[in-house]
Amino acid sequence: MSEKFAEETQKLSYKEFKKEILSDYNIAVVSRECSILGRREVLTGKAKFGIFGGGKEVPQLAMAKAFKNGDWRSGYYRDQTFMMAIGELTAEQFFAGLYAHTDIKAEPHAAGRQMGGHFMTHTLNEDGNWKNQLKQKNVSADISPTAGQMPRLLGLAQASKMYRNIEALKKTNPFSENGNEIAWGTIGNASTSEGHFFETFNAAGVLQVPMVISVWDDEYGISVHAKYQTTKENISEILKGFQRDENGKGYEIFIVNGWDYSKLIDVYNQASTVARNEHTPVLIHVKELTQPQGHSTSGSHERYKSEERLDWEIKHDCISKMREWILSIFENEEELLNIEKEAKKEVNIAKRTAWNNYLHDIIQAQKEVLNLLEKVAEKSENKPFILKLKNELATIKDPSKKEVLSTARRTLRYLIQENNSEKTKLLQWIENYNSEQLYNYNTHLYSEAKNNVKTIKEVKPTYSENANFVDARVVLKNNFDSILSRYKEVLIFGEDVGKIGDVNQGLEGLQEKYGKLRVADTGIREASIMGQGIGMAMRGLRPIAEIQYLDYLLYGLQILSDDLATLRYRSVGKQKAPLIVRTRGHRLEGIWHSGSHMGAVIHLLRGMYILTPRNMTKAAGFYNTLLQSDEPALIVENLNGYRLKEKLPNNIGDFTTPIGVVETIKKGNDVTVVSYGSTLKIVEEAAKELAQVGIDTEIIDAQTLLPFDLNHDVLKSIKKTNRLVIADEDVPGGASGYLLNEILNVQNAYQYLDSKPITITAKSHRAAYGTDGDYFSKPSIEDVFEKIYALMHEVDPDTYKKIY
């Protein structure tokens, strides 16, 4: 027994001490039994896929002991024991997750939306408002991409720093008590090879935030040994330079074997103290862990581990080692045998109960369909065919929803010619069942709460009679000033955001005014800037995280796509992260400062709002709208718009730009032109020239790509003009392809078109540098003029004679 542990335990009575250890042992054994039976359930076909925490039980018991209410975990799929130890996972829930039970009461971790092993706790009430995070243990919803949990971890930890150090945030709140909360990260040894790990690790060292990262080291990443993963096969060894010392702040680094229960408890205690009190980040390298069942149910580890390694794993199994240790102290095997026997029983019962609960409603649905089929068959000319379907369904012992519903739907084909009350009942049943499943599988991509973004009313900018025209960046700057003074939880950060107030001075002077924490420079590390935003937004703050140029969003795009954009959906509306991502893009110079890859962005970021303001007043209005609600969004400002003149509104901070609403910026009768962002200026110029030859365009600013035109105003315009042109700077078929689909298929505008709809886009390659590079890469005024003119030539060749 280690010294510290002995000291701790002296405070407990012998009885309590023993009780706690045996209770821990019980959790470990229950967890292991879940893994063993879980694998069997998959291999016998009752569940689709299994990834379990076998071999990593003991360190998780220690982590759970140090984990306090208000703390956060951002981890990965091996942490079932930790979840059990903090009281947030029962064996029954474990199996409900494995079977994908869609009732969130039975399966609180994802209501079946995520594969087992992906956990969360609920941070939102039914109405979408925050719960008190200080009264619970908080687990941010897991994702599968390796190291994808790291960027968010940084933000979760940084929130504590903000709450501790920003005066205005110190008031009582449901997120933090003086920044005492730790963000605990877990990651597999192999996943530390990912850039996200190193980037986050460095950033947390710079920021000095209360973050404790545990590396569960089992020497493998699926079949690939550490020698292919990690320099020197040792992550703590190569991270030694991060150790804090007399030369500067850094990390506290611990190394401990994963089977050493008492040492682990010491280490986690120390880590907790350092991180909580000093806000120093900590690495705990937990070595000598195993994977007794292999990586997942898709393979077996005998394929890639040597006999010798397999033998070593048996000897170093953390539960066996813990058992040896307990016996060396208490010398009573009887108790342990009893715990093991009871655990087997308990898990078996939990498994059966979860299965029966999961099946209950499906079997009920099966019965209903069998009944309905029996009745429709009676009256149908196709009786034998329907009865065949019915009998097939009846023989399925453990039906899936798919089997039940598809039988019902296929039956309808035999009833096409018939009309009777039994058929109506079957139709009704299908409709009801579909809408129930719609809730189970298709809701919560965006907020469904009362204050969702779409409900925020438009407030137009207003102007004094003698309003000044100013550089457009001043509109933004004044608006950010107003935002920072109104919303104490707003934090703005990114590369060059602090000292110089961003590369276009949209935040000029605001760091001086609001301090280095609220308007902050960051390192060049887009993924973890996004992570800072996600994590802090999960803890009640309102981060505005800047990506310097739209082109560099790609570095942060994975985490936005996999983590932020899926958060509401994967948590079934039980978690949110209302992060605003600010960037600037479209037209300027060269391959990496002219990006307008909006098609790529909108398809990867469903779950966020994608806003493309045509000027800075519109952009400012979007920030104001978003802050009145709680949904994540990306705002793309126009890179070439900051120095253009805009009139300075006199209701800065109050005006809003509505989301999902287009704006007609020029009325016309001949052709509807839909565009957005920088391209609008080109379109407007072309429209003037087209007017000179008698072509009357109607120009519509899409304003928001996600969502697009909820009121179907474009359709109304097309009903008048019967012609459609979409113009943007993305690649052919990019965002223009998306808009075309929205307009033709969602709004059903195809039926009002008298001409082929056309798109005017940039070339497929990226924009070449310089004025001429731009001219030959992106749509020009001449391109827009000529394409629209050619369209009108086709309509009326006599009036609009060929140019070429």
Ligand X SMILES: Cc1ncc(C[n+]2csc(CCOP(=O)(O)OP(=O)(O)O)c2C)c(N)n1
Encoded amino acid at 631, one letter = E
Report the nearest approach of Mg ion to the CB of residue 221 (Å): 5
Token couple for 734: 């990019």
CA 12 vs CA 5, 59, 205, 353, 405: distances in Å: 11, 21, 36, 37, 58
Contact 181, 164 (CB under 8 A): no
Chain Cα centroid distance, residue 1 = 43
End-to-end CA gap in the chain: 90
Kindly report the number of other CB atoms within 10 A of residue 384's CB atom. Answer: 10
By a kind-dependent CB cut-off of 5 to 8 A, residue 191 interacts, out of ligand X, Mg ion, none, with ligand X
Answer yes or no whether residue 188 interacts with Mg ion by CB under 5 A.
yes
x/- letters, 276..295, toward ligand X (CB under 6 A): -------------------x
**Reduced to 3 states, what is the DSSP secondary structure of residue 798?**
coil
Residue with tokens 């298929």: 745
266 binds Mg ion (CB under 5 A): no
The yes or no reply on residue 78 touching ligand X (CB under 6 A) is yes
Q: Does 67 bind ligand X (CB under 6 A)?
A: no
- Annotated catalytic, 597? no
Establish if 218 lies at the interface with ligand X (CB under 6 A).
yes
Nearest-angstrom CA–CA distance, 801 and 230: 69
Q: How are strands ordered across the β-sheet holding 697-701?
A: 663-666, 697-701, 671-675, 724-727, 758-760
Distance, CA of 80 to CA of 422 (rounded, Å): 48
Rule CB under 5 A: say whether 54 interacts with Mg ion. no
Least separation in angstroms between CB 237 and ligand X: 16
Based on CB atoms, which residue is closest to ligand X, 67 or 216?
A: 216
Which range, of 205-213, 216-224, 606-614, 621-629, touches ligand X by CB under 6 A?
216-224
Q: Residue number with the shortest CB distance to Mg ion?
A: 188
Give 191 or 679: the residue with its C-beta nearer to ligand X.
191
Among 28, 66, 115, 190, binds ligand X (CB under 6 A): 190
Of 191 and 548, the one with the shorter C-beta distance to ligand X is 191
Q: Which member of 109, 279, 593, 597 is catalytic?
A: 593
Phi, psi for 647 (deg, rounded to 5): -75, 135
Binder to ligand X among 38, 97, 112, 221 (CB under 6 A)? 221
Q: Does 133 bind ligand X (CB under 6 A)?
A: no
108: DSSP letter? T
Question: Site for ligand X (CB under 6 A): which residue of 133, 176, 180, 191?
Answer: 191
Site for ligand X in 296-325 (CB under 6 A): none
**Residue from the set 52, 201, 220, 785 that interacts with ligand X by CB under 6 A:** 220
Nearer Cβ to ligand X, position 259 or 789?
259
Crossing angle of the two packed helices 91-99 and 333-379, in degrees rounded to 10: 40
CB nearer to Mg ion: pick between 232 and 360? 232
Q: Which residue has the tokens 């071999």?
A: 55
Per rule CB under 6 A, count of chain residues that contact ligand X: 14
Residues 139-168 that bind ligand X (CB under 6 A): 144-146
Q: Which residues pair with 27 in a beta bridge?
A: none
Please list every residue from 438 through 497 that binds ligand X, using CB under 6 A. Answer: none
User: Is residue 222 at the binding interface for ligand X, with CB under 6 A as the rule?
Assistant: yes
- Contacts of Mg ion in 218-237 (CB under 5 A): 218, 220
Residue 186, interface with ligand X (CB under 6 A)?
Answer: no
Q: Return the one option of Mg ion, ligand X, none that residue 263 interacts with (CB less than 5 to 8 A, by type).
A: none
Binding to ligand X by residue 216, rule CB under 6 A?
Answer: yes
Binding window for Mg ion (CB under 5 A); candidates: 15-23, 182-190, 435-443, 519-527: 182-190
User: Which residue, 42 or 51, is less far from Mg ion as judged by CB?
Assistant: 51
What is the total count of residues that contact Mg ion (CB under 5 A)? Answer: 5
Q: Does 189 bind Mg ion (CB under 5 A)?
A: yes
Q: Which does 515 bind (CB under 5 to 8 A by kind): ligand X, Mg ion, none?
A: none
**Burial annotation 107-122 (CB, 10 A radius, 16+ → b, else e):** bbbbbbbbbbbbbbbb
- Least separation in angstroms between residue 92's CB and Mg ion is 28
SS3 288: coil
**Taken in order 711, 717, 720, 726, is the CA torsion positive or negative?**
negative
Q: Is 189 in the site for ligand X (CB under 6 A)?
A: yes
The closest residue (CB) to ligand X is: 188
Order of strands across the sheet that contains 183-188: 138-139, 72-74, 183-188, 211-216, 282-287, 252-257
* Residue 220 main-chain phi, psi, to 5 deg: -130, 155
Dihedral pair phi/psi, residue 795, rounded to 5°? -75, -45
Degrees, nearest 5: CA angle 278-279-282? 105
Report, in this order, helix, strand and coil percent for the chain, each rounded to 5.
50, 15, 40
- In whole angstroms, the minimum distance from the beta carbon of 225 to ligand X comes to 10
237 contact partners, CB below 8 Å, separation of at least 6:
none
The residues carrying an active-site annotation are: 593
Q: Which residues bind ligand X (CB under 6 A)?
A: 78, 144-146, 188-191, 216, 218, 220-222, 295
Q: Which residues bind Mg ion (CB under 5 A)?
A: 188-190, 218, 220
